Every structure is written in C-alpha cells, then in structure tokens.
Chains A and B, each alone.
Chain A
Amino acid sequence: MPDHKPSKSKIEESPIAEVFEGRHPSAAEKDWAENVLAPALEKSPERPIGAPTGTNLDEDGHARFTTISGVPVRRLYTSADLPEDWSYEKYLGYPGQPPFTRGIHATGYRGKMFTMRQFSGFASPEETNQRYKYLLKSGGSGLSVAFDLPTLMGYDSDHPASEGEVGKCGVAIDSLEDVEILFGGIDLEKTTVSMTINSPASVLWAMYLVVAENQGADWQKISGTIQNDILKEYIAQKEYIYPPAASMRLVIDTFEFGSKFTPRFNTISISGYHIREAGSTALQELAFTLYDGVEYVEWAQRRGLDVDEFGPRLSFFFNAHNDFFEEIAKYRAARKVWYRVMKERFRAKNERSTLLRFHTQTAGVSLPAQQPLNNIARVAIQAMGAVLGGTQSLHTDAYDEALALPTEDAARIALRTQQIIAYESGVTQTTDPLGGSYFLENLTLKLEEGAADYFEKLDAMGGMVKAIERGYPQKEIAEASYQYQRAVEAKEKIIVGVNDFSVDEDPHHILYIDDTVERHQTAKLKALRGRRSNDEVQRRLDALKAAAAKDPGGVNSGDISGSNTMPYLIEAVRAYATVGEICAALREVYGTYTEVSVT
C-alpha cells in the first residue's frame, strides 16, 4: 500500500512560506511571491547572519531577522500586514486629534519646533553655569540639569559616601547658594529648565522655586520639568532613598502643590529612558513607563486630586535607540495607549490630560568607547527617529558619552546634529511623514498589543509598586539585557567597531574632572554652616519632619493638604538647609529602602 499521509504543499516547504503564514495576501502578492520572489531566492539565498551560539535561530542555525528588541521582521510588508478592518480613520486619525497616532499638534513641527534641550552638568555650579550660557548662546532652547551622584542620593559633598563622586556625573548641589550660582544671569521666567532629579526632587524643586522668586520670576509663568519619577528608580536607575510608599507620597505632594502654584511646570517626567538603558526591549520600555503613569494617576486620585487638574502636567521621557522603525512605532504607540488610559481607565474629560507629551534622549547605552566618532552617526539616526516619532524635546548624546562627560566640542556637535535635522533634512516640514507605511503601522499595532499584555499582568499583580517589590520588571529587564548581549556576542547583532570592523586606535581627548570640586564644595559648605542661622535651620527641619510624619489625607479640589511637604521644604531651603540635611531629616521619618537583587 502506498503511504497516503498527505504531503506538505509545495508552498509550505518553500522559502516563500512566510508570505502565506498567518496573513491573507492579495492575488497580486501571491503571484509576486511565486513568480518573482521564489526564483530570486533560488538564485541567491538571503545572507545568513549570526553564529550557532545565538539566541534566535531558525532550523538551519541561522539567526532570524529581528528588531534590536528581538521582534521578528518580515522581508516585505504590504496591506496584508494590517488588520482586516483597517481604515485610516479608525486606526490613525489626524494630528492633534484622538488617538493622536500622528502627533499631538495639528501643524506638527511647523507651529512649534522641538525644544533642543541638552542635558548638562558637571563639576561645580560655577563651571556648569558657564556651560549653560554657552549652550544657550549656541542656539539651545532649554536647559537640562544633570546632578552628581551625591546630590541624586541626598548626600552633601562632605558626606563620607560622597568621596570620589562629587561633581563627577553632574553638577554638585548642596544648598540654595549653589542653585543661585547655577542659574546666575539666566532668566528663569524665559528659560525652560528640566531637572533630572528623583528621590530628592522636591528638595531641588523647592530650591529652584526660591531662586526663581528671588529673581522676580512669577511662579504662574515659569515652566520646566522635574523628573521626579521614583518608580523607574526602583525598576532601573536605582537612585532611591526612601521606601516606595513614602516616595510616592512625596511625588503626590509635588503634583498637588504644582497644580495650584506652578500651572506651567511639569511636576513629573515619567521615564522609560532609564528602563531602556538598563537593557529592556522597546516594548518593555513602552509598557513599564506607561504603567508607571497609571500608578501615579491612581495614587494622585487616592489623595483626592482630580485627574483633569494634574493630568495635563504629566510628561514623559523616552529613549531613542538604534532600531529606527521600531523606535518611531514606539512613540506613536505610546500616544495611542496613553490616550486610551486617560480617557477610558481614568475618565479624563479635559483633552489636554490625554495628550502624551514627551522628551527624548538618544541611547547612551548604544554608544561604545571604540571608534567614538562613529557615535555621531548613531546619534543622528536615533535623533531622526525621535523627530519622526513626534518628540516635543530632544537631547542628543555627545559622541564621547562612553568615555566621560562631554567636552565642549562633543557637546556642540551633538546640538548641531539636532539643528541639521530640524533645518536641513526637511523632515520637520510634514507631520508624521512615515504614517501609513505598512511596516511602521504593523509595528505600532504590535507594540500596542504587547503593552496591553503587560498591563494585564501588572494589573493582576496589584499595580507597579507591588510588581517592583516582587522584582518583576527588574527580572524582565535583566533577562532581555542578557539575551541582547548574547545576540551581540553571536554576531546576530553587529555593533560597528565593536564586534566587527574594529581597528586599533589612539586615545581620545576627554573632559577630565579631578577632585578639586570636592574640596571647593566642602569649603563652601563649611562657610555656609558658619554664616547661616543653624537654629533657624533646625526649626525648619523639625517642622518638615512633623509634616512628613502626618498622613496628608484627602483634600478638596483646589486646596493643598495641610501636611503637604512642599511649603515646609521651601521654608527649609530658604533658611539654607542643605540637600543632605533635608534628606537626612526625611530618612529619619521614612527610613531607607533596600532592593531585591536580581541577576
């Protein structure tokens, strides 16, 4: 008897099978696959990539084509890769209109160019002030403060834990005096300032508000952003001080204070940047960041705040990595998902609450130390992705990022890269110019779906704080990061100048920061403590501790809670209490956090 087992059809066995798998190609596409693609593949097969030790291999041991996040990529996208009920109106909509796929402004960048905001800070406030003036003179349109590690961790420059770290990763700030120096000669009513500060965010913001007030600036008019995103610290960046609940309370204090007194200031920048830098995929960056947003809204609502009061002040911060289309899809998906979260989950009525406004920074993690000038090209591609994704503001990394803080030359080239994109490339003339690309729309939809899956998991865990305490996002990121590193080592992912195309090279000139900053700051602190009224400082710190220990409770719309810490912080910084003293006072009340270590 002959074997009647049905034989596989010719197409299933052939290299063009993927054209038919899980999609419904048109007659014309089928015809193309059979008569053009199949012969082409027979004549010259596609190039194999990677090594047999790789992470994502087909049956022949060759790496599959994937995005940098490991998402499989097809060789060609057509209308067969869009949902069957696809229509422009249903899935995309118009710029400035829900669900904001194509951007939040009806006129794209014609109305308002993205803000060129270079993250900068090093050594002493005096030296950083000079760099700020240089950046503003060179055409930068906003400032972004990088603080050193002791400031980020709430220690003064003379604390033992600060040894060797003062002024190294950013500017050292100890007291109001340093913030006065930092912004000396810079008009804070006219310049928007972003501050990358998290655990001690409200302390530094209080200092900023006092300096602005002393300059004669109106709090109702000043604008800028404090990062203030503590959740991503527990997830990725790890600059936390207090336990999650206490930290969340301090964050909600700033929401409450800001919505009443500083209506144009963003009191948070919910950040995916650091999640991505810790090695996450694009999808994890998207999903964890937006879910952090959900957590903040829920905590604020529990305080009694109206979502439409603080919703418009929530801003976001994403990474711009190497995979051009995946990144653009990520920004587009983010706008759609956030719109739905605010509209459907939180019933926001004010359309401004549903707009996802975001800052972007190119991916520091993608910049190797080898052949650093190549990083100029990487940064340009990444920045172009962010602009095509509709970012509101942008930081481009300097090419020497993996070597040290940028030299003045490297910082200038980074800014010039943005200016070339804005004024020479032509991409800013048309809104969402890649909208409608089959590939891009397919990626955008996949990211939305992937985010929905993560949202479901995080909801089931009881929210982000609970998930963090279980180590869930940390574990997901560590796994992705390791898989990526293996893909690099197997040459599935090529990094030019690192795992291919390498050369011997001479050392590059870098910005070198020595330990004179530590001595300078320590001397200033000593003088300050001798000059100020230490009794007054102690009284202010005691009042702060008393407020911090009280449950802020619910408030009526428009009021702020009697134990909101912001007014007490402002009084403490006016008395020249230092960052370290204030954070030590809050440590006494809240204790400190130690993480679950995941490798």
Chain B
Amino acid sequence: MLVFVEEFGHQDCVSFVPENAFLRVPSCPLWLNRSWMPEEKIRVLVAKPGLDGHDRGAKVIARALRDAGMEVIYTGLRQTPEMIVNAALQEDVHVIGLSILSGAHNAIVPRVLDLLKKNKMDDVLVVLGGIIPNQDIENLKHSGVAAIFLPGTAMDEIVQFIRANVKPRGVPTSS
C-alpha cells in the first residue's frame, strides 16, 4: 500500500485562520508513520515567539513534519511563552518546535521551559530552530532544549530527531 505515499504526502493543506487561532495542519494517514506507535500520531506545536516575522523556516518545517506523518499545529506569529505553553497543553502535544531568529532566545526559551515544568509537562520534547549563537547553545541545552537546529539543517534530520526522541504519553521516562 505504500505506493500511495507520494500522493498523500503532497496534498494541498493550505488553510486560512485568524492569527489568534491555531492552524491545524492535516497530516498523512497513520500507516505512513512507521517508527512511532501506529495507534498514536506524533503531535507537534510549531511556534513563532517574539516580535520577529521571518516565518519561512517555521512554515517549511510545519509542512515537512506533516508530510512525515505528524500532526502539526502552527501557532502563527508573535506568541508569548504563556500562549505557547497554553496551546501545548490544550492540544496535548508531544513536541514543541520553537523558531527564533531575532536573538531573543535567552529571554523566551527559559520561560517556555519554566512554564512547562509548572504545568507538569516536562515530558514534552522542546526543540529550537533559528539563529542561535554558539555561546548560548550549551546553556539552552542544559536548561532542557533537546536539540538546536541552525540554518541549513535538513528537514529530514529534524524529522528523524523527533521520531527518535519523542516520549510516549503515560510511559515513565528513563531520565
């Protein structure tokens, strides 16, 4: 049946919603997603915090993750940490992908991580993409960011990372 992969993978999923609502990107059929438990799709919140409007990366990644069989919710622009964590809670996501190019990561990312802890959502995998200076990477990882993807990272690398590191719901994590 996998002959249909290409057809489903490229369906046109453009939707229009107001900025303050969340855009749910329909994902591919379940059976496309082979390395994850077949009964549960990986749910990802792609979020664009801060004042920056450069959203090419966030949008491309949102589509790539969807094409890889995940269920993707894109928040739109200018989300505060509170809005992001609230959306992650409401949508019961496994992964939060933050896109930050403006240099505001040191102000934003720790607040997102704190709020996740406060809401007992430590099991949510947090990944970060954008322009992040080397000297900040270690600190961010230390505070709980699972991976940082710099410009030029292949979409597939991000997909593989998420598949390999996402934590299933209801199963105690080893760490």
Contacts and interface: CB of A to CB of B under 8 A. Distances in A.
A253 interface: no
Contacts of B108: 164
B51 A165 contact: yes
A368 B103 contact: no
Contact of B152 (A239, A368, A475, A479): A368
B138 to A, nearest CB: 11
A2 B47 CA distance: 67
A378 to B, nearest CB: 13
B160 interface: no
Interface stretch (A14-22, A444-452, A456-464, A591-599): A591-599
Contacts, number: 135
Contacts of B13: 599
B106 interface: yes
Nearest to B16: A596
Contacts of A512: 133, 135
B142 to A, nearest CB: 17
Contact of B154 (A149, A161, A489): A489
A498 B152 contact: yes
B77 A599 contact: no
A152 B133 CA distance: 23
Contacts of B50: 149, 164-165
B18 A599 contact: no
A591 to B, nearest CB: 14
Contacts of A238: 53-55, 77
Interface residues of B, number: 43
16 contacts: A149-B50, A150-B51, A164-B106, A165-B104, A277-B56, A278-B54, A365-B56, A475-B14, A479-B14, A488-B154, A489-B155, A512-B135, A513-B103, A515-B106, A595-B77, A597-B74
Contact of A510 (B17, B107, B133): B133
A435 B54 CA distance: 36
Interface string A473-489: 00100110110010011
B60 A489 contact: no
A56 to B, nearest CB: 13
Interface string B135-159: 1000000000000001110111000
Interface in B76-111: 76-77, 102-108
A153 interface: yes
Contact of A163 (B18, B59, B107, B151): B107
Contact of B19 (A153, A279, A595): A595
Looking at B51, B53, B107, which has the most chain A CB atoms within 10 Å of its CB? B51
A599 B74 contact: yes
Contacts of A370: 150, 152
A238 B108 CA distance: 20
Contacts of A367: 151
Interface of A: 149-150, 152-153, 155, 161-165, 168-169, 233, 237-239, 277-279, 365, 367-370, 402-404, 471, 475, 478-479, 481-482, 485, 488-489, 495, 497-499, 507-508, 510, 512-513, 515, 594-599
Contacts of B104: 149, 163-165, 168
A522 to B, nearest CB: 14
A594 B51 contact: no
B106 to A, nearest CB: 6
Nearest to B106: A164
A599 B72 CA distance: 10
Contacts of B121: none
A512 B104 CA distance: 12
Contact of A481 (B17, B56, B156): B56
Contacts of A479: 14
A478 B59 contact: yes
B16 A598 contact: yes
A239 B53 contact: yes
A515 B107 CA distance: 10
A164 B51 CA distance: 10
Contacts of A510: 133-134
Given A169-B52, A475-B14, A597-B23, A369 B150 contact: yes
Contacts of B151: 367-369, 402
Interface of B: 13-20, 23, 25, 50-56, 59-60, 62-64, 72, 74, 76-77, 102-108, 131, 133-135, 150-152, 154-156
A580 to B, nearest CB: 13
Q: Would you call the interface of chain B mostly helix, strand, loop, or mixed? A: loop
Given A402-B151, A599-B59, A599-B62, A149 B54 contact: no
Looking at A278, A478, A482, A489, which has the most chain B CB atoms within 10 Å of its CB? A482
A152 B154 CA distance: 31
Nearest to B21: A597
Contacts of A478: 14, 59, 63
Contacts of B63: 478, 482, 599
A510 B156 CA distance: 28
Contact of B18 (A277, A495, A596): A596
B152 A169 contact: no
Contacts of B131: 369, 402-404
Nearest to B152: A368
A98 B75 CA distance: 48
B107 A164 contact: yes
A481 B51 contact: no
A499 B18 CA distance: 36
Nearest to A161: B51
Contacts of B62: 599
A233 B52 CA distance: 12
Contacts of B18: 594, 596-597
Contacts of B23: 597, 599
A507 B133 CA distance: 9
Looking at B14, B53, B76, B106, which has the most chain A CB atoms within 10 Å of its CB? B53
Contacts of A233: 53
A369 B149 CA distance: 10
B60 A402 contact: no
B9 to A, nearest CB: 10
A153 B20 contact: no
Given A279-B60, A507-B134, A599 B53 contact: no
A598 B14 contact: yes
A594 B154 contact: no
Given A165-B102, A481-B60, A495-B152, A403 B133 contact: yes
Contact of B102 (A149, A471, A594): A149
Q: Which 8 A-B pairs have the closest CB atoms?
A: A164-B107, A238-B53, A168-B103, A368-B152, A164-B104, A594-B19, A149-B51, A507-B134
B99 to A, nearest CB: 12
A1 B19 CA distance: 69
A495 B62 CA distance: 22
Nearest to B101: A169
Given A238-B55, A238-B77, A599 B25 contact: yes
B155 to A, nearest CB: 6
Nearest to A169: B102
A146 to B, nearest CB: 12
B143 to A, nearest CB: 15
